[in-house]
Structures are given as structure tokens and as C-alpha cells.
Amino acid sequence: MARGRTTAPRDMVLGHEISGEVIEKGDDVEFINVGDLVSVPFNVACGRCRNCKERHTDVCLNVNPTRPGGAYGYVDLGGWTGGQANYVMVPYADFNLLKFPDKDQAMKKILDLTCLTDILPTGYHGAVSAGVGTGSTVYIAGAGPVGLAAAGASQLLGAACIIVGDLNKERLTHAKRFGFETIDLSVDAPIPDQLHQIVGVPEVDAAIDCVGFEAHGSCGEAQPAVVLNTAMDVTRAGGAIGIPGSMLGRTLGRPRKPPSTAISPCVLVSAGQNRSRSTPVRHP
């Protein structure tokens, strides 16, 4: 969106990693109070439609007039104002807000807790979608924040070997510090061969795409579909692939309408307007 690859208008307020203090609440809000310190999950959801009740808040039916799913500060996801602002309006606050029970304790860790709104659950969801469990071998493409969150989640889920691939050496060094195996994709060696050297076979039980459509090849050239294709190559028969990375339909060769809509296959987003139930939140 920031690089002009989507239909995002020039002055759009971006950002959906929102945590803050409630400074005002709508008449219908029952369980959230002024002064509460809260995390704001980036999906906007009503909590009462069929999809929300079935835990698919990513495709809520009531928060985006153009299609299911909404999010703060995200193109084509309902027009909800993003979190790069002093104040944010949160609809359906009782459902959408996650209140930290001990405000003082939470403030001591507020920078870590901010990861709850997006990056941490995104990585975790990617690992769960890829079927990561006890003893799994996992290949994670991308050593950015989502990739590291997916790696950490895989560890929590009991994976035996977690391998993170990227072209960025500094990020790989960072990943290694946490005890993950790494693959340097700028090296001219096929990924299955590099996996073979680590786990003894050229494949893994689970792969997670934490790159999306901005993927690059080993020489640094743009190759939007390369990570998905690699994931399919290296995942064993019967394994699974999690795809939190964002996709643009047209960049993968499949035109969509509108053609520049951004989609996130693992965790979708949606948006809606119900000001009577809204709760503004101030960033700490």
C-alpha cells in the first residue's frame, strides 16, 4: 500500500497494530470502560454474523459494504481509519477489544503486548494452518516480523526443527540468535538441497509463506509467486502450507476484480460502521 501497488488513496491513514487506553465509549458498550487498557485486533468484526460465530472474524459479513472482511487502515477492507493516528474509533467494542486485566502490569510490557494485535497471532495462525505440531519439521520463508513470529509459534507448538529462509543476512543472523536453523537464499544452492543438509531429506512436514507477493528470487529480482511455488516443492505429500503472506491476485497471474485488491489468505480482514457502539482509543 505504501509503495503504490494497490488502490489505496494517497492520504489514507494506514496502520493496524493498535493498543491504547479507552477515552470515550458509545452508549451500547457494556463490558469495556473508560480508562481500560486494550489491545485492538486488526480485523474489524461484528461478533454476531454467521462467520463471526464460526470464528471466521476475518470474513465478517457486516463490516464492509463491498465484500466480507474488514480491517483498520487497509485498502479495500471497509474504509476503517488506520492506527497511525492519535485516536482510533473501534466499532462493536465489547467484541473487538481485548482488555488487559492489570493495567500497571501491562504498561510495563506494552511494547511486547502490541504484538498481540497482528504480528504474533498472524505468525501463530500461519503455523497452525500449516499443521505444525509435536516433532514437525518446518520451513518458514521470510525472516521478517511475521516469519519470526511463525518460528516462535512453531516452537510453542512443539516443532522439532524450524528452518527460516531469507535473502537478508542480518535478518538470518537475528533468527539464528533465537536458535532457529537458517537458509541463505542468496546462495546459489537449491532449497531442497539446503533442507536436506539440515534434516536429512529434501522436504519438510510444514511450510509457511511469511513473504507474500513481494517475494524476490536469489538475485534480488521480483518473483511474486516464488515462495508459494517453493513451499509446494518442499512440503512432503500429506504436509500442509500456511500462507499469512499478503497476495495481490494480478501479481500471481490471476486477475481479480478489483485487480489491485490485497488479500491475506490466512488472516483476512473486514470493516463496518456502527458509531453507536463505537469506542475511541488513545495510544499510550
Instruction: Identify whether the C-beta of residue 211 lies closer than 8 Å to the C-beta of residue 142.
Output: yes
Which C-beta is closer to Zn ion: that of 60 or that of 215? 60
Instruction: Identify whether the C-beta of residue 194 lies closer than 8 Å to the C-beta of residue 172.
Output: no
We find the least distance from the C-beta atom of residue 23 to ligand NAD, in angstroms, to be 27
Instruction: Give the DSSP letter of residue 255.
Output: -
251 binds, among ligand NAD, Zn ion, none (CB under 5 to 8 A by kind): none
We find the least distance from the C-beta atom of residue 3 to ligand NAD, in angstroms, to be 11
Instruction: Identify whether the C-beta of residue 143 lies closer than 8 Å to the C-beta of residue 168.
Output: yes
How far is Cα 119 from Cα 268, in angstroms, rounded to an integer?
13
Tell which one of 185, 206, 208, 281 touches ligand NAD (CB under 6 A): 185
How far is Cα 239 from Cα 59, in angstroms, rounded to an integer?
26
- CA 111 remoteness from chain centre: 17
How far is Cα 127 from Cα 230, in angstroms, rounded to an integer?
17
We find the least distance from the C-beta atom of residue 45 to Zn ion, in angstroms, to be 5
Applying CB under 6 A, the span of 94-102, 144-152, 195-203, 251-259 interacting with ligand NAD comes to 144-152
147 binds, among Zn ion, ligand NAD, none (CB under 5 to 8 A by kind): ligand NAD
How far is Cα 131 from Cα 124, in angstroms, rounded to an integer?
11
Q: Is 54 exposed, middle or buried (0-12, 13-18, 19+ CB in 10 A)?
A: exposed
Residues of the shown chain interacting with Zn ion in the complex, contacts defined by CB under 5 A: 45-46, 49, 52, 60, 62
We find the least distance from the C-beta atom of residue 189 to ligand NAD, in angstroms, to be 14
Applying CB under 6 A, the span of 80-88, 89-97, 151-159, 239-247 interacting with ligand NAD comes to 239-247
We find the least distance from the C-beta atom of residue 66 to Zn ion, in angstroms, to be 15
Report if residue 225 touches ligand NAD, rule: CB under 6 A. no
171 binds, among ligand NAD, Zn ion, none (CB under 5 to 8 A by kind): ligand NAD
How far is Cα 251 from Cα 99, in angstroms, rounded to an integer?
39
Report if residue 164 touches ligand NAD, rule: CB under 6 A. no
Applying CB under 6 A, the span of 79-87, 93-101, 109-117, 244-252 interacting with ligand NAD comes to 244-252
- Which residues, in sequence order, are CB contacts of 131 under 8 Å at separation 6+? 205, 206, 239, 240
Report if residue 162 touches ligand NAD, rule: CB under 6 A. no
Instruction: Identify whether the C-beta of residue 281 lies closer than 8 Å to the C-beta of residue 98.
Output: no
The residues binding ligand NAD (CB under 6 A) are 118, 122, 141-147, 165-168, 171, 185, 210-212, 215-216, 226-227, 244-246, 264, 266-267
